[in-house]
Chains A and B, each alone.
Chain A
Amino acid sequence: MRVLLAEDDDLLGSGIRAGLKQQGFQVDWVRDGQAAEYELATGAYLVAVLDLGLPRQDGIQAIQAVRQQKVKTPILVLTARDAISARIEGLDAGADDYIIKPVDLHELAARLRALVRRSHGQTSNLLRVGPIELDPLACQVRVDGVVADICGREYELLHTLMLNAGRTLSRTQMEERLYDWGHEISSNAIEVHIHHLRRKLPPGTIETVRGVGYIIHKQVAL
């Protein structure tokens, strides 16, 4: 799961990035409000963590700006501003959750998972398509109750496809959702991962939509 982190404090930012990585997120970190707005507008992130007191542009303004651009990415505000009025302002501006510093790392991760789940219309963390079960908490995939050997990028790819079950995702969209910054992506990386995934999943799970991309149907006909 790719997360955008906007935090101007070096120490806290590096901590959150390292901590969320341990929890299985890919984290991109920006340090000012304008960069946060720009990155959010790309729509490449599943969820975002935003500080409010950001240089160049306040977090609230950044949220309002991206919401005006119809960006639906769930945004969690992580701030030291604890006044009720500040919370109301944050949530009304378009934030989906509001946490006061300091925050527990595990709670932060759980809230991010919940935001992602809700934004995809799911009630439980567990994603299920036919016999395939994906558990984001344990980063585990089970096929017919048996744990499949799917991890790393393959897991992320499957997670992305299952979250968007019923929708065709292009290769670029998948690359955006899969890789944080600073990764060299070879031109056929997605194809290679799809190829490996197909060998580990029941046949027909991932369909190729010619000239567009890949899709997992909500009800897999086996």
Chain B
Amino acid sequence: MTRWLPQVRSLQSRLLFSVMGLSVLVWLVTILATWSDTEHEVGELLDAHLSQAASLLVTLPLEELSRLRLQESPNLHEYQPKVVFQAWHLDELVAKSVTAPRMPLGNRQTVGFSTGEIEGEHWRVFAAKGNDPHVMILVGEKDVARTDVIYASLRSVIWPVSLALPLMALGVWLAVRHAVKPLKELGQTVAHRRADDDSPLPDGNVPSEAKPLVQELNRLFERSARLLASERRFTADAAHELRTPIAAIRIQTQVAQGAQDDAEREDAFRQTLLGCDRAAHLVDQLLQLARLEANGGTTEPATSDLRASLERVQQELKATHPNTDRRLRVEVDAPISTQLASPMPQGLTHAVLRNLLDNALRYSGPTGQVQLKVHSCPQQERLCLTVEDSGPGLTEAQLAQLGERFFRVLGSGQSGSGLGWSIVRRVATLHHITVDTDRSPRMGGLRVRLEWNHHRA
């Protein structure tokens, strides 16, 4: 059905065309069948009349036949058969109807039906032998008269059907339109929705065939609404977070402009630079997180040298946190120290270690202690990386919020981006690393445990 109507996209037109096409086809076949049947039946009926007329004539002896002076019978009905006869004795025409031609109507030699043509007119002829074997009776009828009868009977069949066909088309059109109306309405509802409209489609008036579609659409709307809301929140939060360092940079620059002496100006410039560094760090973190989110959960499994990343991060931390040497202790358990592989690429290993250690150093105060340990887990085949600090730690509520984008412990006096933990969590998800946080029983502050499958890594 769709093969021969590939260009028709509308369900309504498709239904209409196929139903009407089929109807017309059936109608045509019916007409043809009726035609051939009627032609056959009427032909037999008229032939019977011819033979009947002939059988009456053959009973007459030759003398009586030759005396026949037949007036043409009055035409009492339009379908009254226009029948003529000829009576032949040997090659002589002994009698005929008034309207009959003098030429033989048809074959005079053989008995039975035949056709003949006289002066351009076709005849249907029945020949019968009389009592005298030399007498041949021919009864004929013009073909035109016969086809008139056939056409008339066909007309009576065709006209009611012809009248019914447009009525049926109208009926089919109305029915199809009514049937697809809910679908059309659904289409219009979807088409006229505003881009930011995430309300579900009503499925009360929808036909059962379209219900799964509406339900799937509604699920899709729900998902995209959630995604959109989270993106909006993220953009708003990012704007919010960027505003504070930018506001600080702006104000400090104006302070520098209005400074009365060099010392004040110098101080304002120093603060401006700090603000720039903070904004730059925030943008870096935002970009890193955006790249991780764009990954959509599929990264090539890769490993890197954990020890090398650790050493690099330690070097970097020395630049930003004073006394890092004294505050940070790194322990690696001997048995596994020979092959210390991180389950993620080097860039991400660096980012995770950096965020964890930077947070620990930041929030444990200027003299707080931080310890990083790498060891085998109680479960075989798994590696553990623990970072503990001696800071104030986090409350249960704060632990639950850890990893939410832009979550920061207020009042800590620290100006992190609030994204470090989001990055750690995202990387962990991508590389099948489990992350646990709790209070450190030994040091009192926050304890973070990363765990991964050693063999996979």
Contacts and interface: CB of A to CB of B under 8 A. Distances in A.
Interface of A: 8-12, 14-16, 18-19, 22, 31-32, 53-56, 80-83, 100-106
Contacts of B255: 15, 18-19, 22, 105
A106 B267 CA distance: 20
Most chain B Cβ neighbours within 10 Å, of A11, A83, A101, A103: A11
B252 A106 contact: no
Given A12-B248, A104-B254, 14 more contacts: A10-B415, A11-B252, A11-B278, A12-B244, A12-B251, A14-B252, A15-B247, A15-B252, A16-B251, A18-B264, A80-B243, A80-B247, A82-B239, A105-B254
Nearest to A16: B251
A148 B252 CA distance: 33
A80 B244 contact: yes
B164 to A, nearest CB: 66
Nearest to A23: B258
B251 A100 contact: no
Nearest to A100: B243
Given A15-B255, A22-B255, A102 B411 contact: no
B410 A55 contact: yes
B268 to A, nearest CB: 7
B294 to A, nearest CB: 26
A14 B271 contact: yes
Contacts of A19: 251, 254-255, 258
B178 interface: no
B394 interface: no
Contact of B411 (A11, A55, A100, A106): A55
Chain B CB within 10 Å, residue with most, of A12, A81, A83, A106:
A12
Interface in B155-201: none
12 contacts: A9-B248, A11-B271, A11-B275, A12-B245, A14-B252, A15-B268, A18-B252, A32-B411, A82-B240, A100-B243, A102-B243, A103-B247
B8 interface: no
Nearest to B264: A18
Contacts, number: 85
A112 to B, nearest CB: 14
A11 B248 contact: yes
Interface residues of B, number: 31
B239 A105 contact: no
B246 interface: yes
Contacts of B274: 11
Nearest to A51: B244
A14 to B, nearest CB: 6
B247 A12 contact: yes
A31 B414 CA distance: 12
B74 interface: no
Contact of B415 (A11, A18, A54, A80): A11
A11 B271 CA distance: 7
Contacts of B244: 9, 12, 80, 101
A137 B248 CA distance: 24
Contact of A15 (B251, B412, B413): B251
A31 B411 CA distance: 8
A81 B254 CA distance: 23
Nearest to B267: A18
Interface in B228-257: 236, 239-241, 243-252, 254-255
Contacts of A10: 413, 415
